[in-house]
Structure formats: structure tokens, C-alpha cells
Amino acid sequence: DQQVKQNSPSLSVQEGRISILNCDYTNSMFDYFLWYKKYPAEGPTFLISISSIKDKNEDGRFTVFLNKSAKHLSLHIVPSQPGDSAVYFCAASGRSEKLVFGKGTKLTVNP
């Protein structure tokens, strides 16, 4: 039973445009959500997080939106740059404090 789902295995966008990566979760007890970015041959790198008491968190070009009623979060990257090409993982945690990851979405930003 996959509690965190990233339904798009891949996404391709043009440089300068917006990238929107989506994530759905099933466990209503999750109260903290994160996005990680992973380049090949490297470990994941923390990007941005959001607590369930908020519906938006922004950090530079990255914004995460949380829709609790829909159990959905999204990561917006504006403007997208070729260096953003990587695999993006959505993760969630709740009272157990275990991080549950999605399977990732591979983003390709074309120059």
C-alpha cells in the first residue's frame, strides 16, 4: 500500500517555464511534507518543506502548495533552469516520524 504517490514518472519542460510536480498521499495523519531533489550518483538533497498548518511555503524559485482536503501537494519551480533537471521525491511524515517517500518524478528542463 503506497501512502505517498507521485503518479508522473517523468516531466519535460522548457527552460524559463514553470515546472509543476505533483504528489498525493493517503494517510490523513501525515502532518509534515518535504521535497527532495536527486542527481545521478548523489544522495537526495533537501529542497523545501511544509507543515500541515500552512498551505503554501516559498523559497526562491521553489514553492510548495498543500491541499489537505484533497491530500495533495505540489512543487512549483519558476522559472525552470536546465540545472533543475533531476529526480524529485515527495516525502511525508506523521506521528511515527518515519519519512515515507514517493517513487520520484524525473524532471528534464530543456534549454
Residues near another protein (CB under 8 A) are: 32, 36, 41-46, 49, 89, 91, 93, 96-104
Q: Are 26 and 7 in contact (CB under 8 A)?
A: no
Grid cell, residue 44, equals: 537526495
**Considering beta carbons, is residue 43 or 60 the nearer one to another protein?**
43
**Considering beta carbons, is residue 26 or 46 the nearer one to another protein?**
46
Shortest distance, position 84 Cβ to another protein, whole Å: 18
Shortest distance, position 8 Cβ to another protein, whole Å: 14
Question: What H or E segment, with its residue span, contains residue 77?
Answer: strand 72-77
Phi, psi of 83 (to 5 degrees): -70, -10
Alpha helix segments (H runs only) across 14-89:
none
**Considering beta carbons, is residue 65 or 101 the nearer one to another protein?**
101
Shortest distance, position 27 Cβ to another protein, whole Å: 13
Grid cell, residue 90, equals: 515527495
